[in-house]
Amino acid sequence: MQNKEEILFSAAENEFRESLRVFLDGVDAKKIEREIYERDFYPRELYGKLGDAGFLAPVLPVEYGGMGKLVYEAILAEELGAACVPLAWIHSTSSYAYATIARYGNEEQKSIYLPAMKSGAKIGAIAITEPGAGSDVMHIKTSAERKGDESLISGEKRNITNGSKADVLLVWAITNPVVDPARGMSVFIVESDTKGFEVKRDFKLLGGFPGTVNSYLRFDDVRIPGKNMLGGENEGARVMFDELSIERVLYAAMLVGEARPILELAV
């Protein structure tokens, strides 16, 4: 009888899953997960190994070394969730960032950021939520004021998964305050070593979430070159809803993976 994976996935997709399982077994990801639960450290090195072995960013187009399909990224999210939850969380926000850059970036942006994120050398984060804007994302207050060929970003973001660990952040900001935010926000690629970017505090979530932090970030006149705007001026809402669609698929896949060891333990 065919198992669930043989019915739902193609032979190539199952092959990818199998090689990933062999790799995660080989690096003893489960043991590392237990160590993280005991000592609460961030598994950056293990994430780099995933990149070195070529498993990261399969969603990217073939010309950027990917397999060009979101389903491979979902398989990766699921297997990481099953093998090592904190590793899956690094992958989560990083994958939302690189998948969004792949979809909306121009050739220059893609050639700068995608190879570095695919290799695991750089990690991404998504910065939408603010102290006064959670579910209601249209209430963000962070602003980006155009000054010549640059934009000055000011504001605060909270609840940003691994925000203090990220090298590349996608930051949503209001660029036209006199229109409806749906038509007046843009998204910027911000590198974390840019002057004016500050990690105010890292929080631990309820339940601990070892190996993961939830960051409160501040942007104080952070000067961003115009070429770092992603997807066009005032197109931020469209990019956000696409990003959230990618996020929902990959987040769900990660949680299916996280549930697997619990199910195996229970039956």
- Tell how far CA 219 is from the center of its chain: 19
93 binds ligand FAD (CB under 6 A): yes
Q: Tell me the two tokens of residue 88.
A: 């899956």
Asked if residue 164 binds ligand FAD (CB under 6 A), the reply is no
- The reply to whether 8 sits near ligand FAD by the rule CB under 6 A is no
Contact at 8 Å (CB) between 195 and 214?
Answer: no
Q: Which of 30, 155, 158, 150 is nearest to 87 (CA)?
A: 30
59 near ligand FAD (CB under 6 A): no
Provide, rounded to whole angstroms, the least separation between the CB of residue 238 and ligand FAD: 17
Q: How far is the CB of 160 from ligand FAD (least distance, A)?
A: 5
Task: Tell whether residue 142 is a contact of ligand FAD (CB under 6 A).
Answer: no
What minimum distance in Å lies between the beta carbon of 137 and ligand FAD? 7
- Interacting residue with ligand FAD among 56, 102, 128, 230 (CB under 6 A): 128
Site string for ligand FAD, 207-226 (x = CB under 6 A): -------x------------
Contact between 135 and ligand FAD per CB under 6 A: yes
- Shortest CB 34 distance to ligand FAD, Å: 21
Q: Which of 160, 173, 240, 253 binds ligand FAD (CB under 6 A)?
A: 160
Matching residue, tokens 């993961």: 212
Choose, from 78, 79, 156, 247, the residue flagged as catalytic. Answer: 247
Binds ligand FAD by CB under 6 A, chosen from 75, 99, 127, 169: 127
Cite the DSSP H helix spans in the chain: 4-8, 11-26, 29-39, 44-52, 70-83, 85-104, 107-118, 236-266
Q: Which of 258, 212, 211, 214 is nearest to 37 (CA)?
A: 211
Q: Which is nearer to ligand FAD, 128 or 239 (CB)?
A: 128
Q: How many helices (H) and strands (E) does the chain have?
A: 8, 8
Q: What is the SS3 assignment for 148?
A: coil
- Return left, alpha or beta for 215; rule: phi > 0 is left, psi -120 to 50 is alpha, else beta: beta
247 is catalytic: yes
Of 140, 141, 61, residue with least CA distance to 107: 61
Question: Which stretches of the chain bind ligand FAD, using CB under 6 A?
Answer: 93, 126-129, 134-135, 159-161, 205, 214
Which residues are identified as catalytic?
247
